[in-house]
Structure formats: structure tokens, C-alpha cells
Structure 1
Amino acid sequence: MEVLADVIAQQDLENIYPEAQIANGSEFFEEGTVERSYSILYPHSTDKILVIWKDPERTELHQIYLDGKSRWRSKTGIHIGTTYEELVELNGGPLKFYGFGWDYSGAVDWNKGGLENSNIRVFLEPTVAPPRDFYTDKVIETTEDEIDNLKLRVRAIILQQPEVTGNN
């Protein structure tokens, strides 16, 4: 993901990853509220990368989405399968997460830690079935033992392109 973290356009992807067999399309994102163009690099592979664009011409990056068994990782070292404990260490402090069973299931709140302004969003999943009260769209209030028992791992990563303003 290091190269993709920079501002890119469709033609950049084709030049940087000529073997990627890029597939393009458009569909609704953000809980079905916004139609966006997208490109999928390595679409028939476990290393696929979903690149979502701000514009139909595919010149302005909106975000990059990873899930599945992808080998890609962020500059901070986060990858699919990173454990909850590793995230806490990378964040430099405790984090919070939302419940399971909805569109943003397991979304992490960096809780004012070191990754708060990183533009990286991650989503956790338990490797064992969580208790019924963990199925919610609210932040989970839990103990360390309950977290340990869930054996949480990163299931998806979003690298959000920072907004550029005229004040930079």
C-alpha cells in the first residue's frame, strides 16, 4: 500500500502495476448513498485491491479498501490478520471498537492514540463467536478478558485519502 498512499490517478495505476489486470466499474458505496467509480487491481487474486475514486474520470483518489487474504499492508504495518494486541501497540495506547453484525462491523476508534490522524480505518472480526450483546452498532464496553476471548483480528483496511484544502 505504500505506493497507493500517494495521490494517484487511473493511468498511474496502469503504469505502476502493469500486470494487475485492472477491472473498472461503478456502484453505490457508503451504505448505498453515493455512487462512485472504482478500479480493482488483481481482481482474480487474494491480493486484490479496491481503489475507489472521487470522480467518474478516475483522477482523484477517494479511498483504498483491502480485505480477504491480501498480502498488502499500510506504512504503519497494519495488514489483514493484525491482532487486536498488535493494533494497541501500533496505536501506542488503548482503542475502542464497534460491535458486530452491521455494515461497519468491528470499526476501530483509535481513541486519541498515535494512529488517530493516520487516515487508516480498520475493522476487526472475532475468530470465535462473540456473545449476543456484541452484535450492535455501538462502541463495545468490554473487559480485557472478553477481548482476549474474542481473539480479534483485522478483517478489512481502508486508507482514506486526506482532504486537501486551500489552507495547506
Structure 2
Amino acid sequence: MTLRLCLLPLLLMTSPAAALEIACEDAFAIDSSEARLIGIYGAENVRTGIVPGPEGTEMLATEVYPDSAKRRLQFVWWNEEARTDLSYVELPPKMTGPGGVRYGMSVAQVEALNGAPFTLSGFGWDYGGHAGFEAGALSNLPGGCAVGVTFSPENYPEGLEVDEIIGDRPVQSTNPLLEQVNARVDLVFVSYPHPDYRE
């Protein structure tokens, strides 16, 4: 095991908020696996089981530091039987995603990081506020992963008409309503395509 892999768990426990920016490698690489997570974090810190999924579903996931809301990482696999072929991993609040995306950022801040506008889904449903990046700096990351975020509005000012940013519809990051409701990142994740669709 390399020195870098040995130090990673220590960094997770001691780094200040938003200091550790992960890359699409090691535990977060396309060829990651449950076995690799155990090798990096220790068997006592890794647990695989059924967790809640979107729209009332359940799914299998491997969690690192499962009992700590501040440090918990959730890995979901394309190959659930072998627990390989990483589908996506949800990052904890104290981690920064590839490209510098982190919890609490505004839409405008993420757009500035990306260097280009992007599209997110309207709020108020299970996939509400989700955004990926088809163009810009966040769309072409080393290691072949994709970074995604979910935004949530902090408040709806009284009398503000927000229908155009609610529901299953595309919303442009340039929409001024997103600033008026103070939409902020409340989830950062890294994902990979299904093995059948990889180049």
C-alpha cells in the first residue's frame, strides 16, 4: 500500500472544512471496489448494506464511516454482486469535489468555477436541484469521472413567483430566481458511466 493511501484516512479526520479536494483516483477511481475501500479505510470503517434510494426505493451501497454524518461516504456499484465498477459516490460536507465544488456554494459560484452556464432541474421533487455539467471546466475532469451537485433553496421570499423553478423542468443557472431563493449546494457526488458505455 502506498504512503498516499495510508495517509488518506488520517487526512479525512484532521483536515479543516473544505480543505480536502478529492480527485478521480484511489478510493474514487473508476476501478474502485469494496475491497479497495477496506484496504484504504480499514474493515471496521466500511459497511455494505441496504440504504434508502430515490423515490422510495432501496439500494445496496458501501458506506465509509457510516455512523458519522460529517464524514460518511456512500459508494454505489454498477456490479452489486462483486461490489465493483463504481457508479457514484456521495461526498460528506467537509470534502470538496473535483474542480473545487463544495457544499454551501451558490449557483453563481459554481457557474464561475465551471466558466460556463449549466442546467439544473427544478426544485420540489426527488431529483430537484440536480445539476451536471455538459460544458465548461467541470465537464472534463482528469480520471474520467463526472462531478454533480444538488442545490436546495434556503427560502422562498413572500410574494415571489417561483413556478418557473419548481418541478420536473430544466432551469438555467443564469435564472435570477436562483439567487433570490438563495439556492446552495447541499450534495456533491462523483459518478462514472455504466461499463457498457465506457470508451
- 164 and 104 in structure 1: CA distance in 2 versus 1, 3 angstrom threshold: same
Residue 146 (structure 1) shift: 2.2
> What CA distance in whole angstroms lies between the structure 2 residues aligned with 1:47 and 1:153?
20
The 3-state SS of whatever aligns with 2:139 is coil
Distance 1:41 1:87 in 2: 27
Equivalent residue number for residue 137 of structure 2: 114
Q: Note closer, same or farther for the CA distance 1:51–1:109 as it changes in structure 2 (3 Å cut).
A: closer
Map 1:144-159 to 2 at 5 A: 144-159=175-190
For 1:117 and 1:164, how far apart are their aligned partners in 2? 18
Where does the alignment leave 5 or more consecutive residues of structure 2 unmatched?
Answer: 1-21
Q: Which of the numbers 15, 24, 27 marks the counterpart of 2:48? A: 24
2:112 paired with 1:81:
no
- Count of aligned residue pairs for this structure pair: 165
Match of 1:66 in 2: 91
How far the C-alpha of 1:97 sits from its partner, in A, is: 1.8
Q: Secondary structure at the match of 1:63?
A: strand
Specify which structure has the higher proportion of helix: 2
Paired residues of 2:27 and 2:40 also in contact (CA < 8 A)? no
Specify the alignment match of 1:123 in structure 2: 150
**Superposition deviation, residue 139 in structure 1:** 1.4
Alignment of 1:5-16 (within 5 A): 5-6=28-29, 7-16=31-40
Is the aligned partner of 1:136 residue 2:167?
yes
Q: Distance in 2 between matches of 1:95 and 1:142?
A: 5
Alpha-carbon shift at residue 106 of structure 1 (Å): 0.4
- 1:103 corresponds to which residue? 126
What are the superposed Cα offsets for residues 67-87 of structure 1, whole Å, 9 maximum, x if unpaired?
5xx211212111221221221
| Deviation (angstroms), 1:56 | 2.0
Residue by residue over 1:80-122, the C-alpha shift from the partner in whole angstroms, topping out at 9 and shown as x without a partner, is 2122122101111112221111111101253533323551121
Compute the TM-score of the two structures, normalised by the length of structure 2.
0.69
Say whether the 8 Å CA contact 2:122–2:128 is kept in structure 1: yes
TM-score (norm 1): 0.80
Query: RMSD between aligned alpha carbons?
Result: 2.8
Is residue 117–residue 174 contact of structure 2 (8 Å, CA) maintained in 1?
A: no
The residue type paired with residue 58 of structure 1 is R
Which runs of 5 or more structure 1 residues have no equivalent in the other structure? none
* Structure 1 residue 4 displacement after superposition: 3.0
Write the distance in 2 (CA, Å) between the matches of 1:167 and 1:147: 34
